Amino acid sequence: MSTAEDTRAHTYDGIEEFDNRLPNWWLWTFYLACIFSVGYWVFYHTLGVGNLPIEQYAVEQAEAAAMLEKRAAENPVTRESLIELSKNPAVVAAGKEIFQDMTKCALCHKPDASGNIGPNLTDDYWIYGNDPMTIYTTILEGRQPDPAKGFVGGMQSWKPFGSMFVQRATAYVLSIMDTKVPGKAPEPNAKQMAKSF
């Protein structure tokens, strides 16, 4: 066993090095860290029982979205509730999935919402208005032709898919409002409006 007086065999420029034993407290923290790391590795990586921080974050996001959606499903739709949904990433992601489905909104508005048969939803020109409740009503009820008022129509009602479907789609449209994706020119009867929330 080495003592505090023992030195290592080498000398550099006359400098010697003690050959002390590592302190027990230090060794213990080292051994415990080794043991802990095995448990950690098995728990999180080998068996995958525990959620890594990024996964845990996703779980908490999904829980928050589920709570928000439950409340949205139980309460009347308001301007504020729609704005709140449009700021929740998980709800917006669900709305995006609906929107980009080629059998749904993307068919007429394109997956990037830049417009095709339907208008560009990312510019600041609106036919019916850009208030959250107006957008919700447009998607819920659709818009039928009304020659007297100069409305072309052709936007179908999504009511059969249920209120939550419409609220998610609305949340997505609100989240991309004024992002100005280059695309279809504003409709002749559209008016330029500033985002109001």
Residues within the interface to ligand HEC (CB under 6 A): 99, 104-105, 107-109, 117-119, 121, 126-128, 135, 138-139, 143, 151-156, 158, 169, 173, 187, 190
Give the nearer residue to ligand HEC in terms of CB position, either 44 or 151.
151
Q: How far is the CB of 43 from ligand HEC (least distance, A)?
A: 43
Of 27 and 107, the one with the shorter C-beta distance to ligand HEC is 107
Rounded CA-CA distance 15/20 in Å is 16
- Both tokens assigned to 126: 């609106």
Q: What is the chain's length?
A: 197
State the minimum distance, in angstroms, from the CB of residue 152 to ligand HEC.
4
One-letter amino acid at 23 equals P
Residue 93 burial by Cβ neighbours in a 10 Å radius (0-12, 13-18, 19+): middle
Smaller CB distance to ligand HEC: residue 58 or 133?
A: 133
Residue 63 to residues 6, 67, 174, 184, Cα–Cα distance (Å): 61, 6, 22, 38
Q: Which is nearer to ligand HEC, 65 or 166 (CB)?
A: 166
